[in-house]
């Protein structure tokens, strides 16, 4: 099973404020999700419609890295950047490392991304 996950930033004035509670909440959501569905995977999309796609991806990557530095390296994450003319996309796939369906799911996901990219060109 594959599920979509997303989050967005809120600007306060002219700058974005980072709140550590957001990182904790999102990681808790992911952990709870995988506790309930250990053989599932999640994908999320960062697009260039608000020009924050790279920053959003980098923020999420940092959160996962900080989590994994605690010795809890449960997740595996793969990033895809399909070549599209009208916008930039970063699509990330996250699963538990010990997911017995991981390779099959990843192959299928890569195929879908490639087919989508081919159609959009």
**Structure token digits, residue 13:** 């004035």
Domain of residue 65 covers 2-120
List per-residue pLDDT tens for the chain, 121 residues long: 788 877 666 666 655 566 678 788 888 888 899 899 999 998 887 765 665 556 667 777 787 777 777 666 788 888 887 766 676 777 888 888 899 999 998 888 888 877 777 766 6
- Cα gap 13→96, rounded to integer Å: 38
Domain count, the chain: 1
Q: Enter the pTM of the model.
A: 0.73
């Amino acid at each position: 099973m594959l599920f979509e996950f997303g989050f967005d930033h809120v600007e306060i004035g002219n700058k974005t404020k980072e709140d550590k509670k957001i990182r904790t909440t999102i990681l808790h959501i992911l952990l709870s999700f995988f506790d309930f569905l250990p053989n599932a995977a999640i994908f999320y999309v960062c697009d260039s419609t608000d020009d924050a796609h790279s920053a959003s991806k980098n923020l999420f990557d940092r959160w996962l890295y900080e989590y994994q530095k605690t010795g809890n390296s449960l997740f595996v994450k793969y990033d895809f950047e399909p070549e599209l003319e009208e916008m930039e996309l970063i699509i990330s796939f996250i699963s538990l490392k010990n997911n017995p369906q991981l390779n099959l799911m990843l192959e299928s996901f890569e195929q879908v991304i490639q087919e989508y990219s081919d159609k959009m060109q």
